[in-house]
Structure 1
């Protein structure tokens, strides 16, 4: 959840915009979900006889004529992958945000007047808070450091409502698609913005590769455009950027995204780190195949977890994400949806806010991920169900260990991400006496 604050000076003008169609018809079904008082606030989105100018005058009732930029405007948006909230939930969100921003502290009936309008769309669920910066006791509201307080409020709301954690203060969050990117994808009839598509393409290519050249070739094989940032001295490239064919900027050129703009661990130096210790050629598969290799490698992480230091644990958590990514691609059809969900949930959990150490167990897990990736094109071939189940059990157990570690370190975004993935995996194979949600035939 992201809250962005803007300031203005035209209450009626902003109301007209918020109740209108928007610049790109993105304002779907605008209506009030909350206001400074429960009754008597007109809602032009639900009452055709309601007058916007009347609502504006009521909001401006305590604004002094000499005050400029008296409009406090806060847009609150959930991630495109989050579920749509109900009006009741948005009412709760609006009141928490108004309180955190300092315009209407909870329980203070003399705070600023404000309203919250809901907008919905296929890829955009959000509200707009409009408040006038004049308390009803003729004093000024305390909005100092409102952005910091809003960030804390958003993180608390994410946890309370089960939403995707965003913008962690330790700089481990992946950049979310912007509003413009999301609306552009919607206009073009696309399921996901280009940034999200490219992040997934780059991650799968990195997981499957042993060298930088393999990585670049794998990305190009998907049809994505690749541009390297050269150093100018004939040395290795300093970075890379990706673009989707047909995704153009106003000047007609491709819309490029650097690796860092996709995710912190997809920068070129971080991608290169994945290849450390990787064999030049794949080792022979064990009798149990790639799924058995994955179960063994992940089980080794769990076996040595308690005695591992933070650096080794961080390396293991990142490598565990690689195994999940590869498994989600190679999985048989009855398991694929669960693993794809766990892979999405795990994303932030693979980026703990500590440095990684060189760890043999992480190298072996990444080699297992490469073996799974190599098996992915043969997805229709018979797969040993026992090996798949054992791999899921190992993944669930390791994910629970990582979750407990993050909880003990108070790394909340990573902890929640790991917990969601662990719960999905454990539910799939059965745990604590529960029946598995997937049927395995052995």
Structure 2
């Protein structure tokens, strides 16, 4: 089962550098699986090119005021699977990523107007979503409920595709309806 781990940061470039640094020695290089735009492409991650693209809306609407700490408008969701299990296919991470972004409202149907994001594959059992939380209109996206929403998406995906381990708690009768789940 994939577990989401969410954090907020001040600088996109720092997050991308930390992702590269998290790669285990000898493992495959980090690579871009998906993003808000097909123009960005996939493959090897070029931090110096990707960070300014992700930051486009942040730079347009300067949120920093002199003497104040920068706003934490870079959202990261690490999607991690059991390292003892089989490697997770790219398609699984891509589908989970898009579902998480849709559920949290970070990515909308109007991609050009929404927040910019990228899905980066870190290893056989991990991928990370990096998103800037500012839209093209300069609105900051609220992510207060993103952790429970991301967790629900991952659990629903696993239940639909039969990847949850058997648990009596999942099949027990609901206390409200008396029906089995």
The unaligned stretches of length 5 or more in structure 2 are 65-70
CA distance in 2, matches of 1:135, 1:76: 23
| CA deviation after TM superposition for structure 1 residue 26, in Å | 8.2
Normalised by the length of structure 2, the TM-score is: 0.78
Preserved CA contact (<8 Å) 2:4 2:80 = yes
1:115 match: secondary structure: strand
Distance 1:57 1:11 in 2: 8
| Residue 43 (structure 1) shift | 4.3
Residues 154-175 of structure 1, C-alpha deviation per residue, up to 9 Å, x if partnerless? 11111233323xxxxxxxxxxx
State which of 39, 52, 57 in structure 2 corresponds to 1:57: 52
Is the Cα contact below 8 Å between 2:34 and 2:42 reproduced in 1? no
Measured after TM superposition, the shift of residue 112 of structure 1 is 0.6
Larger Rg: 1
Partner of 2:180: 409
Q: Write 1 or 2 for the structure with the bigger share of helix.
A: 1
The one of 100, 103, 122 aligned to 2:103 = 100
Report what 2:63 is aligned to.
66
| TM-score normalised to structure 1 length | 0.35
- Equivalent runs, 1:5-24 vs 2, <5 Å: 5-20=6-21, 22=22
Q: Considering fraction of residues, name the structure with more strand.
A: 2
Counterpart CA distance in 1 for 2:179 and 2:27 is 43
Q: Given the alignment, which residue of 90, 93, 113 partners 1:90?
A: 93
Q: Secondary structure at the match of 1:129?
A: strand
Q: Which has the higher contact order (CA 8 A, sep 6+)?
A: 2
CA deviations on 1:114-143 (whole Å, 9 max, x unpaired) are: 00111224xxx0110110111123222232
String of CA shifts for 1:279-303, please: whole Å, max 9, x gaps: xxxxxxxxxxxxxxxxxxxxxxxxx
CA contact (8 A) 2:34 2:41 kept: no
For structure 1, the 5+ residue unaligned runs are 46-50, 165-344, 354-402, 411-442
Matched-pair contact (CA < 8 Å) for 1:15–1:56: yes
Residue matched to 1:44: 44
Do the aligned partners of residues 89 and 77 (structure 1) sit closer, same or farther apart at CA in structure 2, a change above 3 Å counting? same
C-alpha displacement of 1:99: 1.6
Identify the residue that residue 159 of structure 1 maps to in structure 2. Answer: 159
